[in-house]
Amino acid sequence: MKYRAKVIVNLKDKIKDSKGEAVSAVLKRISLEENANVRIGKIFELEITGKTAEIAKCKLQEIIDEVLVNPIIETSKILEFEPLEITDTKNEAQIK
């Protein structure tokens, strides 16, 4: 079975976020927000396969730990994890 996952990766709070600081400075300069305190992160969207949701989620966690995140400076959070709906194109074509 296939599952769709979204994972957000951010710098840890103690790590300086120079890109976020640059955006905050621009917002202040153009008078949109005085103290935005912007933090920049990355969102990954993946399709994971597994016989069960538990197996797929374990695989996802391994991908996060081994590939997506530098644990020294970054944190992660799984935003979404859901089964992918499989469309039967034969029946869909017949319905139309």
Does position 89 have pLDDT exceeding 70, yes or no?
no
Q: CA angle, corner 75, sides to 56 and 35, nearest 5?
A: 135
Task: Tell me the pLDDT tens digit for each residue of 24-63.
Answer: 999 999 999 999 999 999 999 999 999 999 999 999 999 9
Q: How many CB atoms lie within 10 A of CB 3?
A: 21
Does position 21 have pLDDT exceeding 50, yes or no?
yes
| SS3 label, residue 58 | helix
The pLDDT value given to residue 96: 38
Q: What's the per-residue H, E or C state across 80-91?
A: EEEECCCCCHHH
